[in-house]
Amino acid sequence: MKTVIVGGVAGGMSAATRLRRLDESAEIVVFERGPYVSYANCGLPYYVGGVITDRSSLLLQTPQSLAARFRLDVRTGHEVIGVDPVARTVSVLDLAAGDTFVESYDELILAVGATAREAAGHPGIPTHTLRTVEDVDAIGALVDAAADHPSALVVGGGFIGLEAVENLVRRGIHVTLIQRSAQILTPLDAEMVAPLQAQLRSHGVDVRTSVTIDEVSAGAVLLSDGATLRPDFIVDASGVVPSVDLARSAGLRIGPTGGIAVDDSNRTSDPHIFAVGDGVEKIDALSGSETLVTMAGLANRHGRSVADVIAGRQEHNTPALGTAIVKVFDTVAAKVGWSERQLVAAGRAHRVIHTHPASHATYYPGAQPMSTKLLVDPGSDAILGAQIVGGEGVDKRIDVIAVAMTGGITASGLARLELAYAPQFGSAKDPVNQLGYVADNLRTGATRSIQWHELDAALAAGSTLVDVRTPGEFAAGAIPGAVNIPVDDLRDRVAELPDGPLVVHCQVGQRGHTAARILTQYGRDVVNLDGGYRTWVAGASLGSREAVGTGR
Amino acid sequence: MKTVIVGGVAGGMSAATRLRRLDESAEIVVFERGPYVSYANCGLPYYVGGVITDRSSLLLQTPQSLAARFRLDVRTGHEVIGVDPVARTVSVLDLAAGDTFVESYDELILAVGATAREAAGHPGIPTHTLRTVEDVDAIGALVDAAADHPSALVVGGGFIGLEAVENLVRRGIHVTLIQRSAQILTPLDAEMVAPLQAQLRSHGVDVRTSVTIDEVSAGAVLLSDGATLRPDFIVDASGVVPSVDLARSAGLRIGPTGGIAVDDSNRTSDPHIFAVGDGVEKIDALSGSETLVTMAGLANRHGRSVADVIAGRQEHNTPALGTAIVKVFDTVAAKVGWSERQLVAAGRAHRVIHTHPASHATYYPGAQPMSTKLLVDPGSDAILGAQIVGGEGVDKRIDVIAVAMTGGITASGLARLELAYAPQFGSAKDPVNQLGYVADNLRTGATRSIQWHELDAALAAGSTLVDVRTPGEFAAGAIPGAVNIPVDDLRDRVAELPDGPLVVHCQVGQRGHTAARILTQYGRDVVNLDGGYRTWVAGASLGSREAVGTGR
């Protein structure tokens, strides 16, 4: 049995090593186009920034180490340029020698990943993606060679783009970040990203949203907003598309998303060809439809499971939630499942919850603010997605919610999760439990809420806005048109409120909930402004073009 | 409708505030024996240690603030000394005035918690528990008044005892910690706790296990190991028992564990009396039997749900997993579900997995070592429990496993959890995923393992022990009797191995797995020493009395 693997990083190498562990007698050949295999591509931006200083720590394995441990025949500098599925052979170009040869296979695994969406070349300005060791070597050389006041243009504010920005700033580079859409980090919703955009700007990053490159000539970049930049170099993080040339030439089915179509064992339309990693379609856990999720975790896991399948075991992929996280300076942003934008676009009913808890018990030093967003199916109470932005503990809460989604735990059920509590780590009612309580209050009708982007319409329709914070908080900044009656005075002053519907709000939503409960029991028609002043401020900072469901 | 609540912390106050939000017209009276309500009792040790310096931050609410926000009638310094369930009245002693009066109720909630197991008094040496604000004030005064070389004896190495030790050390006190059983932190198994005991000793703590107090007289403490101590004071953290005097006098049913028996709505044997918190039995998620779990999270949650029930809503408790965590100096120890010791004692079949992953990708700076233990039902592959000891990220992984247990995710299913990955937070194969892979290998028979405490028997029965680490690792410390053949040389040197069964091991178990797979395919009878050298060392450090299932 001979298995040929095309691509020697994440998915490909997971398949190779697992296959060896399962089958000592298997013949396993890995072709990698680049000079390195099994490197830590998620660490590359931090090598640029000098956070990771030991280059060798990124190179997890070598062909020699893989031969010794796993008896793998790993050939770097070898590009597979053709597949003959009938003869079961691949054509391989030895890049150093310039020779082409043919290698046979019994089973073939394509783990060729994805490639930059846009053409990398810009006349007169060095441009690189940030996907390979060669990329970071080239960017590192550009940083070293840059002028007294070095500057760079990063195209694309997704996960990789933001990591590139942070690490270039760390190296003293002035960075302009342009983003085609109206916000950076589009897997999250706009109001959740607003604090992150503000933080980037506070680090001197020139963040320009809804902006593209109009023209590059003679070392100058003309942006669509009229600005002209002269960056020393450009980092292209504008996104990736699946690498499907090889699959297409082999006649393999390409799916509706543009990725290689595979079944739940990662088998392509040819029974002896498997495919894993960023080049392959996944199944979305919420819709059951094909989707692209370019995450290292899935690539590794699917690589391993393909080895199981080839070794004769049953392995079936589970649908993908798209859990993801990024740290930018001191801010951590994470998501799982669908965003509100996706739900709106799909016309899928949803309920939205924003909270702003502390990362751990506030009486213990070092608690950090956190903003969370939970998206809930109003019919089934299923969790549709979550987003969390903050510092400490963001990763924990997004993982907890991801596992809850996998386990079929409802939004209200989050209240009953028994999470580990000591004051350094959380609260007796953890932020995730709190989300569950809010979800339960909405589900049972104990409270009703409106969203930050629904407030204007509610006020235009005659609602009175009641700010139930303290006079001090009110004086420090308030929503225009609000009446200030602190929650503790509400019972005594309810008669002051005009007839008609009420919108109450506080700083983060909790006192607003208490106020809404009080006023409801005084017979008033009242809704709580979800997420309070803090979410409203984040939303209001965006401008109307960036509002949820408008203009996108 | 008038609800009387006995006890104004965690569960009692959660009930009171929730009930007000649900019912503006309810009459709600809270009697608290002590001078404070709604204080952060989990923060008390850190106030002793000076980590928390702002006393007011511990006092989350006052009777005044609770009256203003929630219209609660909170009376501190009032001890409820009797209940008449027929008349539906309580007898209340006003501690300041010395008067007793009778208060009627429609519904009564007992939230009186637990009390120290042992008598607090020791002749000639001040002794305090660490459960109330008064306790920490008293301990603080003792610390301040202590001599030039102050010393303290902490009785009991559970969660509270360990927090007390850390904080006393922080104040410059020399601490002796005695523990009745053979290890501290008995919710975890002995080999998991060994590093924690070592760390305590490295901080100068005199840790004495299997030791009790024989006698206290004239300022001297005679221990059962023959030592005599003269501590300035004693902190009694020897554990708590439910406070059931009031419940018992009211004729309420006390359960088999000694806690107040309640149904899944926290209703006692009297339909108008509810009970929540540390004084109440919970249902264990694994056995379905009554258990005691003294965790603030459950107290708060059950308090809230009792309010729902009183307000006419359906609320049913879910069984308790007993998730818990403690930080002691730089070490974090956490657990969920059952320990191996509990499983052995119950005669319940189980499979054990130890791993020693890094808290995040090792190529990114700051990764910390972590030791994990997973207990698995060999029939159903259900997760029975987990223990994690380390630093960064322990809290996240125990929460992830707790949620997986709640969601019915199997041990092998942990491999498929889609956890958020960036190099600061984890690995593409997260430590939890890795546990899933090991579980899957054991479930499918791809590998077999033995435990550290089973090694001696295996060697005595004729197995050969093969250490597959590098010669350098072997030279730095090895298990007596082991033959060293590095995994990378194993294929070439397999002929060197004597006939008969083999036990292989590496440092943490991973290379051992690869070695076991190789040797299995060479036709050898081979098992991998679970958790490798690191788990074996932790176990071996304990001595035979402390081994799992022996002598306990």
Question: Could you report the per-residue pLDDT of B387-430, keeping only the tens digit for each?
Answer: 999 999 999 999 999 999 999 999 999 999 999 999 999 999 99
pLDDT of residue B540: 85
Nearest 5 degrees, angle CA A503-CA A509-CA A512? 50
pLDDT of residue A87: 98
In chain A, which among 493-522 make CB contacts under 8 A with chain B? 513-514, 517-518, 521-522
Domain A118-238 class in CATH? alpha beta
pLDDT of residue A179: 96
pLDDT of residue A149: 87
- Is B21 in Cβ contact with A517 (below 8 Å)? yes
Residue A545 has pLDDT above 90, yes or no: no
pLDDT of residue B543: 59
Interhelix angle for B159-170 vs B190-202, to 10°?
10
Q: pLDDT (tens digit, 9 = 90+) per residue, A285-324?
A: 999 999 999 888 899 999 999 999 999 998 899 999 999 9
Facing B418 at nearest CB: one of A21, A304, A402: A402
Q: Quote the percentage of chain B above a pLDDT of 90.
A: 88
Residue B552 has pLDDT above 80, yes or no: no
Residue B68: list chain A partners with CB under 8 A.
Answer: 488
- What does the DSSP assignment read for B516-543? HHHHHHTT--EEEETTHHHHHHHHHTT-
Choose from B418, B427, B448 for mutation: most chain A CBs within 10 A: B418
Residue count (chain B): 552
Residue B548 has pLDDT above 80, yes or no: no
Residue A535 has pLDDT above 80, yes or no: yes
Residue B167's identity, in one-letter code, is N
pLDDT band at B244 (very low <50, low <70, confident <90, very high): very high
Q: pLDDT (tens digit, 9 = 90+) per residue, A252-276?
A: 999 999 999 999 999 999 999 999 9
Task: Considering chain A, tell me which residue range(s) the CATH 3.50.50.60 domain(s) occupy.
Answer: 2-113+241-310, 118-238, 330-443
Mean pLDDT of A455-481: 97
**3-state SS, residue B325:** strand
The verdict on pTM exceeding 0.90 is yes
pLDDT band at A119 (very low <50, low <70, confident <90, very high): low
pLDDT of residue A39: 87
Q: pLDDT (tens digit, 9 = 90+) per residue, B345-396?
A: 999 999 999 999 999 999 999 999 999 999 999 999 999 999 999 999 999 9
Contact (CB, 8 A) for B372 and B406: no
pLDDT band at B542 (very low <50, low <70, confident <90, very high): confident
Count A/B contacts: CB-CB distance under 8 Å: 237
Q: Which residues pair with A110 in a beta bridge?
A: A6, A275
Q: How far is CA A237 from CA A131, A188, A325, in A?
A: 9, 17, 16
pLDDT of residue B86: 97
Domain A2-113+241-310 class in CATH? alpha beta
In chain A, which among 141-160 make CB contacts under 8 A with chain B? 159
Nearest-angstrom CA–CA distance, A296 and A299: 5
Contact (CB, 8 A) for B4 and B31: yes
Query: By the CB < 8 Å criterion, does A241 face chain B?
Result: no
DSSP secondary structure code for residue A253 in this structure: P
Nearest-angstrom CA–CA distance, B485 and B497: 9
In chain B, which among 408-437 make CB contacts under 8 A with chain A? 408-409, 415-426, 428-430, 433, 437
Contact (CB, 8 A) for B129 and B236: yes
Mean pLDDT of A345-358: 97
Query: Which residues are CB-contacts of A472 (< 8 A; sequence separation ≥ 6)?
Result: none
Domain B2-114+241-310 class in CATH? alpha beta
Indicate the average pLDDT of chain A.
Answer: 94
Residue B422: list chain A partners with CB under 8 A.
Answer: 42, 159, 163, 325-327
pLDDT band at B120 (very low <50, low <70, confident <90, very high): low
**3-state SS, residue B145:** helix
Task: Considering chain B, tell me which residue range(s) the CATH 3.50.50.60 domain(s) occupy.
Answer: 2-114+241-310, 118-238, 330-443
pLDDT of residue A549: 38
pLDDT band at A81 (very low <50, low <70, confident <90, very high): very high
Query: By the CB < 8 Å criterion, does A59 face chain B?
Result: no
pLDDT of residue B546: 41
Query: Which residues are CB-contacts of B185 (< 8 A; sequence separation ≥ 6)?
Result: B157, B158, B159, B162, B193, B196, B326, B333
Residue B98 has pLDDT above 50, yes or no: yes
pLDDT of residue B291: 94
Choose from B388, B396, B399, B492 for mutation: most chain A CBs within 10 A: B399
Residue B8's identity, in one-letter code, is G
* Pick from A328, A485, A317: nearest CA to A391: A328
Residue B448's identity, in one-letter code, is R
Q: Quote the percentage of chain B above a pLDDT of 70.
A: 97
pLDDT of residue B545: 39
Alpha carbon distance, N-terminus to C-terminus of chain B: 52
Nearest-angstrom CA–CA distance, B294 and B223: 28
What CATH topology corresponds to B330-443? Answer: FAD/NAD(P)-binding domain (3.50.50)
Q: Spell out the alpha helix ranges (H) of B407-531.
A: 431-443, 455-460, 471-475, 490-493, 510-521
Q: pLDDT (tens digit, 9 = 90+) per residue, B418-463?
A: 999 999 999 999 999 999 999 999 999 999 999 999 999 999 999 9
pLDDT of residue B378: 97
Q: Which residues pair with B216 in a beta bridge?
A: B221
Nearest-angstrom CA–CA distance, B288 and B319: 7
Residue A338: list chain B partners with CB under 8 A.
Answer: none
- Is A416 in Cβ contact with B403 (below 8 Å)? no
Q: pLDDT (tens digit, 9 = 90+) per residue, A197-243?
A: 999 999 999 999 999 999 998 889 999 999 999 999 999 999 889 99
Domain B449-546 has CATH 3.30.420.40: no
Facing B419 at nearest CB: one of A323, A327, A487: A323
